[in-house]
């Protein structure tokens, strides 16, 4: 990753889907003008999703996702299709490549994307090879899918500019990420970031939510001031007026809250990320549900990072400890990380998600949707911790839920 790269979680995710040999990898190479993905006439060439970050003219920072054919077979095929399904959930715009009259699978995936409200661009690949330049197949797809597909060919590069135009048209209106700090501060406000650099802090750097928040405060024209938790009292003493806003780690709430000047608002990075990456309204209800869960509840903790668990890890140690302190030792707590997330959530009373700085918003929202459809409450680390510490009503949210 170069220094001026946009974090992958903030890029528009464009996924390519189709049966094996549909020409997905060839099309990515043609669209990016680079040999990003391996191409061959052997069906099943692409196995795991391949991510390629780049700047797309007229759109900005994107990441293309090349996927395994969704008709892959056998035991390994099944695992690949699962990976393709995960890629589909983080896709902001899907390119669906029809490759023949047998389109039952393609239509199933089209229905999936439509259900997810993911914009889909229908394509017919290999246009250069098709009888009558692909027009009969184009008509058949239009009949079945209710929309006229574009004809493209990676071979002679036909239709690529049209795909780019369609991508621009399909850009979700809300793609511009909401602001992280929302209504909590504006130009000229003094904002104090209280960031414990304890055992969990990575060596020699700040973590992504802190970096992104700091950058936003500077862009907004706020004055940003940083200190560690043990310097908070002294820092406040030196100020002529209280900061408009204090942002801290959820884990430091307990120490920061008693020192907070009455006039300052308080929030945490992961509360901010509940809105930035997720659905603050649903997460808030989930945090309230947390306060009413039965002693024998089954809780799923989902963490985006797959790093080796740290000492005093928030997801694995601190949060479970707080949960058990409130509800007793009969709680069943399960932890998943990375892209692992059970399809069937009905056995859980609550899902608690991390701040998800490594995921894009679409992916987190698809998990929210999964929870909603299965009537399982969901919240995130920051709101859960605030609820467990009894200060949920004292924490400021960046947006009205």
Ligand X SMILES: Nc1nc2c(ncn2[C@@H]2O[C@H](COP(=O)(O)OP(=O)(O)OP(=O)(O)O)[C@@H](O)[C@H]2O)c(=O)[nH]1
Q: Which residues bind ligand X (CB under 6 A)?
A: 18, 20-26, 39-41, 43-46, 68-69, 125-126, 128-129, 153-155
Partner interacting with residue 166 (select from ligand X, Mg ion, none; CB below 5-8 Å by kind): none
Max Cα–Cα distance, the chain, nearest Å:
79
Cβ closer to ligand X: 129 or 330?
A: 129
- Integer Cα distance of 365 and 318 in angstroms: 25
- Min CB(83)–Mg ion separation in Å: 13
- In the complex, least distance from residue 13 CB atom to ligand X, rounded to whole angstroms: 18
Does the footprint of Mg ion cover residue 47 (CB under 5 A)?
Answer: no
Span near Mg ion by CB under 5 A; candidates 45-53, 76-84, 188-196, 202-210? 45-53
Query: Is 6 an interacting residue with respect to Mg ion (CB under 5 A)?
Result: no
CA 213 to chain centre: 17
* C-beta separation of 5 from 29 below 8 A: no
The residue count for binding Mg ion (CB under 5 A) is: 3
Rounded to the nearest whole angstrom, what is the least distance from the CB of residue 38 to ligand X in the complex? Answer: 7
- Indicate whether 45 belongs to the interface with Mg ion (CB under 5 A): yes
Residue 390 has phi, psi (to 5 degrees) of 75, 25
The secondary structure of 313-348 as a DSSP string is -IIIIIHHHHHHHHH-TT-EEEEEETT---S--TT-
Tokens 């090349």 label which residue?
66
Q: Pick between residue 35 and residue 111 the one whose CB is nearest to ligand X.
A: 35
CA angle 280, 286, 291 (to 5 degrees): 135
Judged by beta carbon, residue 46 or residue 138, the one nearer Mg ion is 46
Q: Which is nearer to ligand X, 21 or 86 (CB)?
A: 21
Contact between 191 and 224 under an 8 Å Cβ cutoff? The reply is yes
Q: Is 67 in the site for Mg ion (CB under 5 A)?
A: no
Six token digits for residue 320: 């479970």
In whole angstroms, the minimum distance from the beta carbon of 78 to ligand X comes to 15
Asked whether 363 and 288 are in contact (CB, 8 A), the reply is: no
Pick one of 12, 16, 46, 383: the residue that binds Mg ion (CB under 5 A): 46
The site for Mg ion (CB under 5 A) is made up of: 25, 45-46
């Amino acid at each position: 990753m170069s220094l001026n790269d946009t974090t992958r979680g903030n890029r528009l995710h464009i996924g390519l889907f189709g049966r094996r040999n549909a020409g997905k990898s060839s099309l990515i190479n043609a669209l990016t003008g680079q040999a990003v993905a391996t191409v061959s006439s052997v069906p099943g060439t692409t196995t795991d999703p391949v991510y390629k970050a780049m700047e797309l003219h007229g759109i900005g920072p994107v990441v293309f996702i090349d996927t395994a054919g969704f008709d892959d077979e056998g035991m390994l095929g099944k695992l690949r299709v699962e990976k393709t399904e995960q890629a589909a959930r983080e896709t902001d715009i899907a390119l669906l490549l029809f490759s023949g009259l047998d389109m039952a699978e393609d239509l199933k995936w089209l229905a999936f994307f439509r259900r997810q409200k993911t914009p889909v661009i229908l394509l017919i690949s290999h246009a250069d090879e098709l009888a009558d330049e692909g027009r009969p197949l184009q008509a058949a797809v239009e009949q079945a899918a209710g929309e006229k597909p574009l004809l493209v060919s990676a071979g002679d590069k036909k239709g690529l500019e049209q795909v780019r135009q369609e991508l621009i048209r399909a850009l979700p209106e809300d793609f511009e990420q909401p602001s992280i700090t929302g209504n909590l501060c504006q130009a000229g406000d003094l904002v104090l970031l209280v960031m414990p650099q304890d055992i969990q802090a990575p060596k020699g750097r700040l973590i992504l939510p802190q970096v992104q928040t700091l950058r936003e405060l500077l862009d907004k024209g706020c004055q940003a001031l940083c200190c560690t938790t043990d310097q908070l009292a002294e820092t406040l003493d030196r100020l002529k007026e209280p900061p408009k806003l204090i942002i801290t780690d959820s884990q430091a709430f307990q120490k920061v809250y008693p020192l907070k000047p009455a006039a300052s608002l308080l929030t945490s990075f992961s509360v901010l990320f509940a809105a930035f990456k997720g659905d603050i309204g649903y997460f808030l209800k989930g945090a309230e549900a947390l306060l009413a869960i039965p002693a024998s509840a089954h809780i799923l903790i989902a963490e985006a990072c797959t790093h080796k668990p740290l000492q005093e890890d928030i997801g694995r140690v601190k949060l479970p400890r707080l949960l058990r302190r409130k509800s007793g030792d009969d709680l069943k707590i399960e932890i998943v990380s990375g892209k692992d997330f059970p399809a069937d959530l009905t056995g859980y009373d609550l899902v608690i998600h991390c701040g998800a700085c490594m995921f894009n918003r679409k992916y987190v929202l698809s998990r929210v949707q999964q929870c909603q459809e299965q009537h399982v409450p969901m919240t995130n680390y920051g709101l859960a911790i605030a609820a467990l510490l009894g200060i949920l009503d004292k924490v400021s949210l960046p947006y009205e839920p």
